[in-house]
């Protein structure tokens, strides 16, 4: 199928599915088989050294608090995160990465770096930068749309 035959939405959707699958397959090969790719994308990728609340993770990902809570619970059982009460919100929980979670995230980042290297080999560095800039523009559309809408308590 040529690029002119693909719709923008279809191409982006298919590209995401391929990249998502390559990273997930690689993580399974590297021994991270005890969580779903969605848990990695929604939770592990969005945690840094500072803990985040479940509500903040939900807001960052556009996924409901209930779904994020379920994902966090599974990751906690598997040893990737730990939670504690949020002192700023009596009902909330703060989510922290564990050493296992940091390790998985580092391996995922290495996998992503390999995909970028592969893209640069096939497109060249200049075209890769142009492609990534195009994705940033599209992401910016979503950020501006989200900023223009009132917060619905996510």
pTM comes to 0.77
User: How large a percentage of the chain has pLDDT more than 90?
Assistant: 69
Residue 3 has pLDDT above 90, yes or no: no
What are the C-alpha distances in Å from 130 to residues 119, 127, 135?
Answer: 12, 5, 9
Residue with tokens 């809570």: 69
Cα separation, 10 vs 3, whole angstroms: 11
Residue 150 has pLDDT above 80, yes or no: no
Largest CA distance in the chain: 54
Residue with tokens 């923008």: 8
Q: What is the mean pLDDT of the chain?
A: 90
What are the C-alpha distances in Å from 128 to residues 18, 29, 96, 119, 140?
Answer: 17, 27, 34, 7, 18
- pLDDT: is 90 or 113 the higher one? 113
């Amino acid at each position: 199928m040529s690029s002119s035959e693909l719709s923008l939405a279809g191409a982006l959707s298919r590209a995401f599915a391929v990249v998502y699958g390559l990273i997930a397959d690689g993580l399974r090969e590297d021994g991270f088989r005890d969580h779903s790719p969605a848990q990695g994308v929604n939770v592990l990728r969005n945690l840094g050294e500072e803990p985040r609340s479940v509500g903040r993770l939900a807001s960052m990902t556009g996924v409901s608090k209930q779904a994020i809570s379920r994902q966090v619970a599974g990751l906690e059982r598997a040893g990737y995160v730990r939670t504690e009460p949020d002192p700023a919100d009596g009902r909330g929980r703060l989510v922290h990465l564990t050493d296992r979670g940091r390790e998985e995230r580092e391996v995922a980042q290495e996998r992503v770096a390999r995909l970028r290297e592969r893209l640069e080999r096939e497109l060249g560095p200049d075209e890769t930068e142009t492609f990534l800039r195009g994705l940033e523009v599209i992401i910016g559309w979503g950020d501006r749309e989200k900023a223009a809408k009132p917060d619905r308590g996510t």
